[in-house]
Amino acid sequence: MSTPRLLIAYDGSPNARTAVHAAAALFPGAEAVVFFARQPMEAFAAHLQGHPVLEGLDGLDAALLDASEKIAAAGAEFAVTLGLRAQPLVSSSVVSASEAIIAAAEDRDSGLIVLGSRGRRGLAATVLGSTSADVLHHATRPTLVIPSDAVALPRSAVTQD
């Protein structure tokens, strides 16, 4: 059986690093795209069209793109150190992160989407949303969600009692 081509959602957070670690452990040597879903300034500023505050934001979108590319590159470099054959990819679409992840997986014909989960619950999950839950509910490709250490460690302590 061949190893699937992975699309690893990566935002530089500890949870994303945990997901890269898990992917490398489960699929040693796999081909991977380390993907960062960037929200362009147009998405943020659409409702402020013509507002004077936008004049001070010139160049910010270019700086955000540069930062996004650095995040994706750092994630790919991290994946390579763990034995994956990884390359970075940045999306700049005016859609949610989950929609961008799903679209990138489709465009790349990924065999598996891998992403971390912060483990938000209750009001925080309701207000802030859950990218991993959205991807799980809407992706047409197999999806692996790696729980954050903050979620996994207490769970494993309960199962060991």
Q: What is the pLDDT of residues 123-144, one digit of tens each?
A: 554 444 588 889 999 999 999 9
Mean pLDDT of the chain: 83
pLDDT of residue 53: 62
Q: What is the pLDDT of residues 25-78, one digit of tens each?
A: 999 999 999 999 987 655 555 555 666 666 666 667 777 788 899 999 999 999
Residue of 63, 79, 99, 74 lying closest to 18 (CA atoms)? 79
Q: Which range, 11-25, 41-55, 108-122, has the best average confidence (pLDDT)?
A: 11-25
pLDDT of residue 139: 96
pLDDT of residue 126: 46
pLDDT of residue 127: 45
pLDDT of residue 87: 97
DSSP string, 29-94: T-EEEEEEEE--HHHHHGGGTT-GGGGGGTTHHHHHHHHHHHHHHHHHHHHHHTT-EEEEEEEE-S
Q: What is the mean pLDDT of residues 2-12?
A: 89
pLDDT of residue 130: 83
Residue of 68, 84, 66, 60 lying closest to 10 (CA atoms)? 68
